[in-house]
Chains A and B, each alone.
Chain A
């Protein structure tokens, strides 16, 4: 039998387990005093990546490494498309659409001096344009789902001003959208 790798920090491993098993992502950075600081749990995984991969693989999960964040998913799920993901993606899209069509730059969602405010979230919740999407996605209460699915899972950070910005994982979702979107040649030519 192999020895347990001596580099593993058991306190951190326990904290990582608690985060991942509760459906949270582990971001490369945390928002502390409105500054993004390195997340020691992320560093712990990076330094012992293979060990952690094996640990979760043995428990029936896959440790998924994305640029700047980790999460786990079931190794052999009935379907890889889950309800939480549907709600998360829909909420993120609604928030971004609300911001960009309200005359703000996307940067509002990434800069700690900006962020979407609770009042704006309340405005989204009462916005008739979004109500059908919210209902069809199975979101009963936007505020609660925002908290449980975006904040608690580490897809958004709360700033010191009480606003909310995208975490590394949240930004990755949009980076993927931006990189996959192919504009017409006319839009890019100069």
Chain B
């Protein structure tokens, strides 16, 4: 069925999502212009057929697109089809995010075309308007310049849209309460946008980009700016100022995009740097963790199966922040650091001798009355609670040692106060037989008594087990 092409395009514009998905498919396989027939048929069924739009169902069927020239090639054996390129470009034009950014190869092609034209004008053409050869070359020159201008303008729009999209994702990530699910992919996307599309564009537009001579040629290659400047100057020199100035205006228009690209570059650079910090931290933690895992894996084999990781394993000693940090307990910690042990006896002898010399005439000692140590009422109360708890028989296990002590002390003491419970906990924490069996939980609880409140984390008393003691 032959259909007016304008009708097909108008109908197709009502089903943008179908063609956007086809463009996304093309972009996911760079270099290919072929689309799977099955993909089109699935999208056609999902969006067009399900809409019930009779006209669209007829016009956008695969057969109709083939007959009316919107599909230019169909390979039934491979199950692929190729769409008219202007259809793809039209949808890219509508959705800026889907405009294909110009890569280094695209810019190189534009630059080389202009360089070739520049050398043709300089070496083999006489600047003489009205002559066929010159006129044809001039048309080609302005076509090339206009195409470059259009493509660069679209490229700037595409880069701006993509930088905006990255900015929106970055902002969303920043506001998402420490979530970083997207940060690694965002890092890669911003890096790709920066390195593959922004930098080539900046280099292309910059008049100062250094150029090496082509292979097998001593003559330096020309930048876009240089080619256009030389073409402009050539025409002005030969009295064709109007054409020379036209080329100059076009060059100014192309170069005006440099500022826009520079702004995009700075934005993306900022995102990239912050994301790089996050990625660096992620990678560093992975690296340290993998080193630890590596040492653990070595213990999986043979006789080492039940061995614990050594304290001097590489994955442990590579970190120096806490090297030598001491154990918890105070026991055995006190000692005087006599550096010169050999002379200790001499020092003591000298001290005794000097004491005897100084105090030869010592009067008889009067009887010294020993004073009782002074203790505060609070301390006396605490000692009393300690004694009670010391003499008490403790069960093998308790779900909550706080509740147990609270209830028990309440029964035992007429003037029980919540501060006695604090003394009880201090007792439990300092008696090894109890402390080693305490198991703390992260459940917050609260006891109210006598107008006071005690907030605490639950602690259970566990049975004595040879393996349960944490080596602190």
Residues of chain A having any CB pair with chain B under 8 Å: 21-23, 25, 57-62, 64, 66, 71-75, 77, 79-86, 88-90, 93-94, 96-97, 100, 103-108, 111, 114, 118, 121-122, 132-133, 136-141, 143-145, 147-149, 152-153, 155, 162, 169, 172-174, 176-178, 180-181, 183, 187-188, 190
B442 within 8 A of A: yes
CA distance A174 to B193 in the complex (A): 31
- B297 nearest CB neighbor, chain A only: A132
Q: Are B324 and A105 interface neighbours, CB within 8 A?
A: no
Instruction: Return A183 CB to nearest CB of chain B, in Å.
Output: 6
A72 CB contacts on chain B under 8 angstroms:
326
What are 11 residue pairs bridging A and B, where the CB atoms are less than 8 Å apart in the complex? A23-B325, A23-B327, A25-B322, A71-B325, A81-B317, A106-B281, A141-B439, A162-B442, A174-B285, A181-B280, A187-B283
Q: Complex formed: what's the CA distance from A22 to B312 in Å?
A: 23
Closest Cβ of chain B: how far from A27's Cβ, in Å?
Answer: 13
**Interface residue B165 (Cβ < 8 Å from any Cβ of A):** no
Question: Quick one: which of B308, B309, B328, B337 contacts A58, CB cutoff 8 A?
Answer: B337
Complex contacts, A90 vs chain B, CB 8 Å: 292, 309, 316
With a CB–CB cut-off of 8 A, which chain B residues contact A84?
325-328, 472
Which of A59, A82, A145, A174 has most B Cβ within 10 Å? A82
Contact B288 A177 (CB under 8 A): yes
Q: Which of B284, B321, B330, B467 contacts A22 (CB 8 A)?
A: B330
Cβ A73 vs Cβ B325 within 8 A: yes
Q: How far is the CB of A74 from chain B (nearest CB, A)?
A: 6
- Known contacts A100-B282, A105-B179: A172-B326 contact under CB 8 Å: no
Contact of B323 among A25, A81, A104, A181 (CB under 8 A): A81
Report yes or no: A103 in contact with B180, Cβ–Cβ below 8 A.
Answer: yes
Q: Which of B316, B328, B467, B469 contacts A85 (CB 8 A)?
A: B316
Cα–Cα, bound, A93→B319 (Å) = 11
Q: How far is the CA of A162 from the CA of B442 in the complex (A)?
A: 9
Residue of B195, B324, B470 touching A74 (CB-CB under 8 A): B324
Least Cβ distance of B339 to chain A in Å?
10
Chain B contributes a number of interface residues (CB within 8 A of A) equal to 67
Complex Cα distance, B443 from A190, in Å, reads: 48
A-chain residues with CB within 8 Å of residue B443 when the two chains form the complex: 118
Q: Within the assembled complex, what's the spacing in Å between the Cα atoms of A34 and B335?
A: 39
Residue of B nearest to A145 (CB): B470
Tell me the nearest residue of chain A to B182, going by C-beta. A103
List the one stretch of B126-134, B270-278, B386-394, B401-409 in contact with chain A.
B270-278
CB pair A108 B316 closer than 8 Å: no
Which A residues are CB-close (under 8 A) to B284? 174, 177-178, 180-181
Taking the closest CB of chain B, its distance from the CB of A82, in whole angstroms, is: 6
Q: A81-B323, A177-B285, A181-B284 are in contact. Are A136 and B308 (CB under 8 A)?
A: yes
Tell which of B179, B194, B328 touches A104, judged by Cβ atoms closer than 8 Å. Answer: B179
- B296 close to A172 (CB less than 8 A): no
Whole-angstrom CA separation of A176 from B284 in the bound complex: 10
Within 8 A of A (CB), among B455-469: 467-469
Kindly provide the distance from the CB of A165 to the nearest chain B CB, expressed in whole angstroms: 11
* Interface presence of B396 (CB below 8 A): no
Residue of B nearest to A76 (CB): B337
Who on chain B is nearest to A132 by CB? B296
- Given the interface pairs A81-B317, A89-B322, A176-B320, the reply to whether A103 lies near B311 with Cβ below 8 Å is no
Q: Is the CB of B309 within 8 A of A66?
A: no
Find out whether the CB atom of B335 lies under 8 angstroms from the CB atom of A83. Answer: no
0/1 per residue, B166-182, Cβ < 8 Å to A? 00000000000111110
Q: How far is the CB of A24 from chain B (nearest CB, A)?
A: 9
B151 on the interface (CB 8 Å rule)?
no
Of chain B, the residue at the smallest CB distance from A75 is B337
B282: chain A residues within 8 A (beta carbon): 100, 106
How long is the Cα–Cα vector from A136 to B308 in the complex, in angstroms? 5
**From residue B437, how far is it (CB to closest CB) to chain A in Å?**
11
Whether A60 touches B335, Cβ cut-off 8 Å, given contacts A22-B330, A81-B311, A85-B311, is yes
Q: Is the CB of B178 within 8 A of A190?
A: no
The docked-state distance in angstroms from the alpha carbon of A21 to that of B309 is 26
Query: For residue A122, which residue of chain B has the nearest CB?
Result: B442
Q: Is the CB of B278 within 8 A of A106?
A: yes
Asked if B236 is an interface residue, CB under 8 A from chain A, the answer is no
Q: Determine whether the beta carbon of A173 is less than 8 Å from that of B321.
A: yes
Could you tell me the distance between the alpha carbons of A22 and B321 in the complex, rounded to whole angstroms? 18
Which residues in chain B, 62-117, are within 8 Å of chain A measured between CB atoms?
none
> Are the CB atoms of A173 and B309 closer together than 8 Å?
no
Identify which of B179, B299, B444 gathers the most chain A CB atoms within 10 Å of its CB: B179
